[in-house]
Amino acid sequence: MSAALPFLPPVLATVDEMLTTKKIPALSGDEMEALCSHLFALRDRDQRIALAEIAYLNHDDPQALNIFLACTLPMAQGMAERNAERVFTHPTDWQLEAMYNGAVSNLLNMFEVHHTIQAFVPNAFRRYLMMTIVHGAMNPFRVRDEHWNIQGVEDVTKFDRIRGRYRNPAERELISRDLLQQVTTFPHLMEEQARVLKTIAALGPEKALRHTNHYQQGGDKTHHKHIRRRRSILDLAGIAEAMGVNKVKVKNLLKDTRRILRDSFNRDGCLFASE
């Protein structure tokens, strides 16, 4: 007498069929809803990724996207929360939402573009999926948008105050001191943003800035003809060390601070200079 086959609930039977055949069975609306609810709450990470890969490989199936998102959205939420806790001491709801939104956008793009998975690469789909989520979660904080909506002008010299009115070095220094005082005491900044500016002011240009030479690609760095320009940029590592925080946090604070100051004072590029 043969042993009786174990009874599986319809949802588990569907999952078992997908894992066995590597195909998506034809499901009714109610069956599809029950399957997605089960996948969304699934705790087995390996099985979740395996089912997401099956949905990804069956890209043309009309139910594939729903299954793919049901498997991957909980992973995106968890990874976004963990990344936010690494980058920010106490992540805000907006920061969590921004990271989650970036991860979801990348997942949708991953499914839509549908790159071919290389069979010879070990765990190729798992690696591709994880990197897609991580890059999507971190992308909103890599994009520099503090200069968004700034419009160009035909004649830049009309707005160049140093060549025109403020040619005197003593006058420029006085304006710079006044600008620094107004920026570091601006009342609409958060405490950490104001602390970054005050730290930069306390360090001074010798310690807060690092000077870099930019050369033409493939040029000889020892020859002056290949020097394109010399500029001073903030030393984020030194500022972070002085504040006792990590470099990424300083970068994000500066990005938000620039946006606030620009929107409040620098819409016309005059940098507090009065007519």
Give the model's pLDDT for residue 152.
65
Under the banding of pLDDT at 50, 70 and 90, the label for residue 151 is low
Residues 17 and 130 placed together within one structural domain of the fold: yes
Distances (CA, A) of 107 to 64, 101, 148, 181, 249: 13, 10, 26, 45, 26
Query: What's the confidence (pLDDT) of residue 6?
Result: 57
User: Residue 175 domain-assigned?
Assistant: yes
Do 128 and 195 reside in the same domain of the chain? Answer: no
Residue 17 sits in the same domain as residue 134 = yes
162: pLDDT strictly greater than 70: no
Burial letters for 202-229: b for 16+ Cβ neighbours within 10 Å, e otherwise? ebeeeebbeeeeeeeeeeeeeeeeeeee
Structural domains of the chain, count: 2
Which of 141, 168, 201 is a domain's end point? Answer: 141
pLDDT at 64: 92
Residue 57: closest CA among 8, 3, 140, 129: 129
- Look-up: residue for tokens 């729903």? 66
Is 114 inside a domain boundary?
A: yes
Residue 260 within a domain: yes
Predicted confidence (pLDDT) per residue in 221-259, tens digit: 444 444 445 556 888 888 888 888 898 888 888 888 888
pLDDT score for 170? 73
Which is more confident, 148 or 205?
205
Count of CB atoms within 10 A of residue 106's CB? Answer: 19
- Any domain includes 146: no
What is the predicted pLDDT for the residue at 185?
83
Q: Is residue 150 part of a domain?
A: no
3-state secondary structure 168-220: CHHHHHHHHHHHHHHHHCCCCCCHHHHHHHHHHHHHHHHHHEEEEEEECCCCC
The residue segments making up the domain with residue 224 are 160-265
pLDDT at residue 7 greater than cutoff 70: no
Q: Which of 93, 109, 141 is the last residue of a domain?
A: 141
Lowest mean pLDDT among 34-38, 71-75, 93-97: 93-97
**Is residue 272 one of the residues assigned to a domain?**
no
22-44 confidence digits (pLDDT tens): 999 888 888 889 999 999 998 89
Whether the per-residue pLDDT at 18 is higher than 80: the answer is: yes
pLDDT of residue 217: 46
Same domain, 25 and 65: yes
Whether 176 and 133 map to the same domain: the answer is no
Last residue of some domain: 107, 141, 175? 141
Q: What is the pLDDT of residue 2?
A: 46
Q: Check whether 220 has a pLDDT greater than 70.
A: no
pLDDT of residue 209: 81
Per-residue pLDDT at 8: 65
In a shared domain, residues 96 and 42: yes
Quick one: pLDDT at residue 210? 77
Residues 59 and 136 in one domain: yes
Let me know whether 260 and 167 are in one domain: yes
Q: Give the pair of three-digit tokens for residue 122.
A: 């070990």
Mean pLDDT of the chain: 79
User: 115 and 36 share a domain?
Assistant: yes
In the predicted structure, residue 218 carries a pLDDT above the cut 80: no
Q: What does the pLDDT read at residue 50?
A: 93
pLDDT in tens, 48-69: 999 999 999 999 999 999 999 9
Q: Is residue 148 part of a domain?
A: no
Tell whether 209 and 108 lie within a shared domain.
Answer: no
| Together in a domain, 120 and 198 | no
For 258, the token pair is 């620039």
Selected residue with higher pLDDT from 122 and 159: 122
> 171 and 109, same structural domain?
no
- Is 132 inside a domain boundary? yes
